[in-house]
Amino acid sequence: MTARSAPSGVTSADHRGRWGDYGGVFVPESLMEALRRLEAARAEAWADPSFHDELDRLNREVIGRPTPLYLASRLTRKVGGARIWLKREDMAFTGAHKINNTLGQLLLTVRMGKTRVLAETGAGMHGVATAAAAAYFGIPCRVYMGAEDTRRQSHNVARMKMLGADVRPVTNGTQTLKDAINEALRDWVSTVESTHYVIGSVVGPHPYPQMVGDLQSIIGREAKGQMLELAGRLPEAVVACVGGGSNAIGIFRGFLDDPEVEIYGVEAAGTGQEGSPHSAAIGLGRPGVLHGARSYLLQDNDGQILPAHSVAPGLDYPGVGPEHSMLKDSGRVRYLTATDADAVAAFRTLASSEGILPALESAHAVARGMDLARSLGRDADVLVCLSGRGDKDVDIVAGMLGL
C-alpha cells in the first residue's frame, strides 16, 4: 500500500489547510502561488493511480518496504512486563523513516517539472534521505544544516556530500534545526520557480503537514497489518518520539480510529532540570505561528521563540506539527517526555539486550515504551516506532557514558 489521501477528518486538514485551530498558511506573498501550485500538483498526483504505482515500486525496490515488525523478546524479559514490538524504520534505506517522505516528494518534483531541490536537516537523516532521493532522480540538491548540528552529526554531513548534495552550514541563531529551516525558506523565496523545498517533517505551511503525513502513514498501515498477523491482535499502546513529528504521525494514523489503542508521543525534556532548555513544545509550550503554520511552540511572554535543546538533534526544534497540536487538544494522543539521560539509558539497554543501536530520537520513545510495558503487565503489547538507527549517535552516547 502507498500513501493516499487521508481517509477521514481525523487525519485530513480542511480546505484551509487546518486541523481545528492549527496549521494554515502564514508565509510571504511571494510563496503563496508556489504553495497553491504545490497543493494542486499534490491533489492531482494523489488521485492518479500511475503515481501510486510508481511510489509502490519505489517503496519496494528502493526503500525495501515493508520494514519488519520485530518482537524484542530479550528486552521484554529484561523489562518484565508487556511484550515490546519495534517497527523497524531503522532498516529502511538510508537508515530512517525520512526516506518515505523524500522519495515521494522527489517523485512529485519530477512531475511538477522542477529542476532543483532544497532541504533542511537537524540530525542529518532527512538531509541524507533527500540527497539520496535527489541522486536517484538526477536532480541537484542543497541542504541547510545548523553549524552546531554539523559538528554533532559530522558522519551524516559526509554522507550527504558523498551523495552529491551541497551542504550549507547555518551560523545564525542557535545554529540548529530552526535556523536551518529559516535559511532554506530564504533560499526558496528567491528560487521558487525552479526549486521544490522538501520539508522533512509534518510542519510548515499547507500542504506540507498533510503531504508529509500522508507519505509517512505507510508506517502505521504496515504496522497495524503486521500486529494483526504476528500477534493476532492490536497493541494496547503505540509509542513514538515527537520533534516535528513525522514518524509519530506516520505510525499514529494507523491506529487513530481504534479507541482501544492508547497512543503516546514522547517529547525531549533535555536535562530535565527546571529552567533549562528542552524541546517539549506540546507539554510546556503554547500556540503560536512559526515557519508558516500555527501550532504549539516554545515562546516567551512576548511571543519570541525560545531556544530548544535535546541530546537528539532531530528533536531539537521549538515547535511541533499542527496535526499533533490538534491531537493533543482532542485528548486522542497523550504526550509524555523523556530526558537526555533517559534516552541514553534506553539506547544502551536496547543495544545490550537486542543488538540494536537506536537513534537517540527513537531512544526517547523506547524509554517511555519500557515504562508502559512495566505498567501494562505480561498479557499486553506495546508497539514502539524505532524511527532510525543510531550509528550517527555513537560518539555522543560514548561521550556521555565515558566509553
Farthest-apart Cα atoms in the chain, separation: 57
CB atoms within 10 A of CB 329: 16
**Alpha helices, DSSP H, located in 59-207:** 73-79, 98-112, 125-137, 147-152, 154-162, 177-191
Residues with catalytic function: 98, 120, 387
Q: Rounded to whole angstroms, how far apart are CA atoms 72 and 362?
A: 15
* Backbone torsions φ then ψ of 136, nearest 5 degrees: -60, -40
Q: Evaluate whether 381 touches 85 at the Cβ level (below 8 Å).
A: yes
How many alpha carbons lie under 13 Å from residue 269 in its C-beta half-sphere? 21
Cβ-defined contacts of 350-358 (< 8 Å, 24+): 350/72, 350/75, 351/390, 353/72, 353/74, 353/75, 353/78, 354/72, 354/74, 354/75, 356/72, 356/86, 356/90, 356/386, 357/389, 357/390, 357/391, 357/393, 357/394, 358/90, 358/386, 358/388, 358/389, 358/390
Q: Rounded to whole angstroms, how far apart are CA atoms 345 and 75?
A: 13
What angle is formed at CA 361 by the lines to CA 391 and CA 335, rounded to 5 degrees?
165
